[in-house]
Structure 1
Amino acid sequence: MWRPVEAQKTLLCSRIRRKAMARTWSPAASLSPSTNCRGSRNEEAELLAVECDLPLIDLGRLNSKLEAKQCKQEIITAAAEWGFFQIVNHGVSNSLLGRLRRQQVNMFRQPFKKKVLDFSDDSYRWGTPTATSLKQLSWSEAYHIPLSSANKLARTSRCVIEEFSVAMAQLANQLVDTLAEGLGRDGTYIRENCRRNTCYLRLNHYPPCPLPGEVFGLVPHTDSDFLTVLCQDTVCGLQLKKAGRWVTVKPNPNALIVNVGDLFQAWSNGLYKSVEHRVMSNPHLERFSVAYFLCPSKETFIQSSAQPAIYRKFSFGEYRQQVQQDVRLTGHKIGLTRSINIKWTTIEGIIVNSRETTPVCSEPPVRQLLALSRGTDSPAAAP
C-alpha cells in the first residue's frame, strides 16, 4: 500500500483545521493579504490567467487531397508556437469516450481501500508521491496505468481501456508522422520504439478542494514523453504557459487536446515546444480527465539529427531517472535543461550557442527554428 497517501491527507487536513481555527479566533486575519502569501499568489495567478481558445484543427482534412497539406502545416505551427492544440474529427467515437468516462467515474467512486488494492504495483495515486509540503501537493487522485499491466484491471474496466488505448495509439502515430514530416524526418523511429507495452494511461479525478488558493489540482510541470493526448470534461481547470503568462484553456466537449512532450522537443531540436502546464483546484466542482502518454522503451535514445544539436543524446530511461531524482532532491522537475549540450547555455531563458554566439530564443520564430531543426543556417529553408 502506498503510505504517503495517509501522510499527505494528514498534512492537508491539519492545515485546514489550523486555517479554520484562525478564522474562528481572528476574523480580521482572513482579510490580511500577508496571512496566506502562497494562497494570495495562487488566487491572483488564477484571476489574471487569460482564457484562451487553443488552435483547433480538423483532422478530417487530412483525408482531402486539397486540404491535407494545409492541415499538416497547422499541426506543425501549433506544436511550434503553442505546444498545445485541439483536434476534432480525430476518429475516436463519442460512444467510446462516453463508455470510458462512465467507467472512470465508477472506478473513482469505489472505497479508498479498494482503489489502493486494485493494482499490486501502486497504480493508484493520491496527491504527489514525493510531496514534502503543500506547495508540492496536487489535490487529485489518479490511476496511472502502464498498458503492459492493463490485464490486471477488472474485466469491465479492461475492455474499454484496451479499446481506448488502441484508438489513442493510432491517433498518436498519425500525429507523429505529420510532426516528423515537418522536420524533414520519418516518424518510423518513434513509432517503432513507442509500443503498447511502453505507453501509459492516466485516469485523473480532481475532487472539490477546500483550499483552492493554496493547493493545485496538478502542480506545474511538463510531460516527459513524446506526445500526450488528453480527453477532459467541461469543467475549467487546465492552464498552460504562453509567452510567460498563464492562460486558461476553455473546455471544448467535442475536441481532444494534444500537447508536445520533452522528448519531442529534444528530437525536434527545440522546434516543437514542451510547455509547462497545470490544473487549478476548484472549491465546488469535481473534474475528470484521461491522458494517453506516448512513451518509448527505457533503452530508446533521443537525439536530434540537426547540427548543431541543442540537446545531447540521452536515453529515455536515463532521462526519467534524472527527473525523478531532481524531484526527490529539489521538489521540482529540472527536465531538458540538464540535457543542453555544453556548447549551448541559457541566459535569462534564452538558449545561446556559445561557439557561434547566435541566440536562439526560448520562443523563436517558427521559420528560424525549423531551419535549425533541419540543420540549415537559413530560415528561408522552412516551408
Structure 2
Amino acid sequence: MAEVMPNQSSFDDRAKEAIAFDQTKTGVKGLIDAGVDTIPALFVQPPEFLPDPSTDAAADLQIPVISLDGVLGGRRADVVEEIREAAGTWGFFQIVNHGVPLSVMKGVLESVKRFHEQPSEVKKEFYSRDGSQRVKYYSTGSLHSFQSAHWRDTLSVDFEDSVPDPQGLPEVCRDTFVEYVGYTVKVRNMLSELLSEALGLDSNFLAKLECMETQRLVSHYHPPCPQPDLTIGNTRHTDATFLTILLQDHIGGLQVLHKDKWVNVPPMEGAFVINLGDFMQLVTNEKYRSVEHRVLAKKVGPRISMACLLAPSKKNYNKIYGPIKELLSDSNPPLYRDITIPEFYEIYLNKRLYGNVALSNFKL
C-alpha cells in the first residue's frame, strides 16, 4: 500500500489535536463520558483502512478450534497435527480445554474493565508513553504519527521472565493480573512443546531458543463508538513477537486476513485465541505464518481483550535469531537472514501501519 504523506499544514493541525487529546489523559473513554456523538477528526480513518464489504467477513471460512483435552495422553499426536496445520495455514487458532479456570479468565477481563472505568484522576497516575515504563496506561498507540488514531485505550504491563511481580500494578487489577500470569505460563509451556513437536523437533526445542520468556500483558478497552463506520479499533497489522495468547470478551470484532478475505474470529467462552508472530515465521522459515489481523470499532461495548505477547527477555534482547538450522536443507534453504530484535523493531514500527510486511526487509 502506498504511503501518502499529508501536507505540512494538515500535519501540524493533526499534531496539535493529538497533543491536546493526549494531555487530557482520559483517553477514548473520556470522549464517551463527555457525551460525544461525533468522533474527532483525529480518529477518522482513510477509506483504504476501513472495512470493505467486498472482502469482509467470509462466512464460509472459520479459524480452527483445537481442544487440548487428552494432550498428555492418547490424543497428543492428533493435537500436534492440528496445530501443525493451523499454524502453517492460518497462523491463528483457538484453543479450548487448556486448563485455565473460566473464573480466572472472566476475572482478569473484569479487572481490566474496572481499571478503565475508574475515575479519570485515579487512572491518570499511570498515563505514559514511555516505552521503558513497566506499567503504563495510554490511548491509541498511533496517536503521535500522521496516521489516524485507533478507537481504544490500553493498559500495558511487562512481566520480565514471566515472573508474576505485583510491584507497581494498579490496585484494582493487581491480584488478578498476577494470578493470570501464573496460568498463562502453563499455557505458554504447553504450546511451546506442541509447536516444537509440530515442526518435527524435540518438545523442548523452542524453550531452548529462549524466545518466549517475557510476557507483556496488553489489555485493550474499546468503548462503544458513535460512528464505527469511520474508524477502527486496531488497524491491520501482524504481531512483532513470537507468540500471542489472546483472551477476548463476548463483543467480537477481531478479524483475520485469510485467502484475501477478512474472517471473523468469533468469541468462544473459555477459549484463547493463539496467533503466531513475525519472529515465529522467521525462525520456522515460513513453516508457521504470521498473518494480518485487525479489530473493528462497534456501536456496542465496551469490547475488552487481554493480549499476552511472548518475547525474549532483556538478557536476550540483542541475541541473533534466524531460521532454525534443523529445518533447513538444499530443498528448503533459509528465506531470511539472521537478525536481532532491535533491528527488526526499527523496521516494524516504521512500516506496520501501512500494511507493509516488515519481514520482507530481511528476506535473502
Q: Check conservation: 1:60, 1:89, Cα contact below 8 A.
A: yes
Query: Residue 266 of structure 2 corresponds to which residue in structure 1?
Result: 250
Query: Residue 347 of structure 1 corresponds to which residue in structure 2?
Result: none
TM-score by length of 2: 0.78
String of CA shifts for 1:227-259, please: whole Å, max 9, x gaps.
101111111200010011111122111311101
Cα distance in structure 1, aligned partners of 2:37 and 2:55: 23
When residues 206 and 15 of structure 1 are mapped into structure 2, their CA distance, relative to the original with a 3 A threshold, is closer
Query: Residue 358 of structure 2 corresponds to which residue in structure 1?
Result: 335
Q: Check conservation: 1:137, 1:219, Cα contact below 8 A.
A: no
Cα distance in structure 1, aligned partners of 2:340 and 2:204: 17
Query: Residue 324 of structure 1 corresponds to which residue in structure 2?
Result: 349
Cα distance in structure 1, aligned partners of 2:154 and 2:64: 28
How far does residue 316 in structure 1 lie from its aligned partner after superposition? Answer: 1.6
Give the unaligned 5+ runs of structure 1.
Answer: 20-35, 342-383
Q: Check conservation: 1:5, 1:126, Cα contact below 8 A.
A: no
- Pair 1:53-2:62 in alignment: yes
SS in 2 for 1:176: helix
Q: Check conservation: 2:94, 2:273, Cα contact below 8 A.
A: yes
Query: Residue 338 of structure 2 corresponds to which residue in structure 1?
Result: 313
SS in 2 for 1:199: strand
Q: Tell me which structure has the larger Cα radius of gyration.
A: 1
Name the structure where helix makes up a greater proportion of residues.
Answer: 1
Q: Check conservation: 1:87, 1:256, Cα contact below 8 A.
A: yes
Query: Residue 233 of structure 1 corresponds to which residue in structure 2?
Result: 249
TM-score by length of 1: 0.74
Q: Check conservation: 1:119, 1:152, Cα contact below 8 A.
A: no
Q: In structure 1, which of residues 102, 105, 125 is the aligned counterpart of residue 113 of structure 2?
A: 105
Give the unaligned 5+ runs of structure 2.
Answer: 1-16
- Pair 1:158-2:167 in alignment: no
State the percentage of identical aligned residues.
27
Query: Residue 223 of structure 1 corresponds to which residue in structure 2?
Result: 239
How far does residue 114 in structure 1 lie from its aligned partner after superposition? Answer: 2.7
Q: Check conservation: 2:256, 2:262, Cα contact below 8 A.
A: yes
Q: Check conservation: 1:238, 1:248, Cα contact below 8 A.
A: yes
Cα distance in structure 2, aligned partners of 1:41 and 1:92: 36
Query: Residue 90 of structure 2 corresponds to which residue in structure 1?
Result: 82
When residues 195 and 255 of structure 1 are mapped into structure 2, their CA distance, relative to the original with a 3 A threshold, is closer
CA RMSD of aligned residues (A): 3.1
SS in 1 for 2:70: helix
Q: Check conservation: 1:216, 1:279, Cα contact below 8 A.
A: yes
Query: Residue 321 of structure 2 corresponds to which residue in structure 1?
Result: 302
Q: Which amino acid aligns with 1:172?
A: R
When residues 73 and 5 of structure 1 are mapped into structure 2, their CA distance, relative to the original with a 3 A threshold, is farther
Cα distance in structure 2, aligned partners of 1:40 and 1:321: 25
SS in 1 for 2:71: helix
String of CA shifts for 1:308-330, please: whole Å, max 9, x gaps.
11011111222123322446xx7
Aligned residues: 318
When residues 69 and 92 of structure 1 are mapped into structure 2, their CA distance, relative to the original with a 3 A threshold, is same
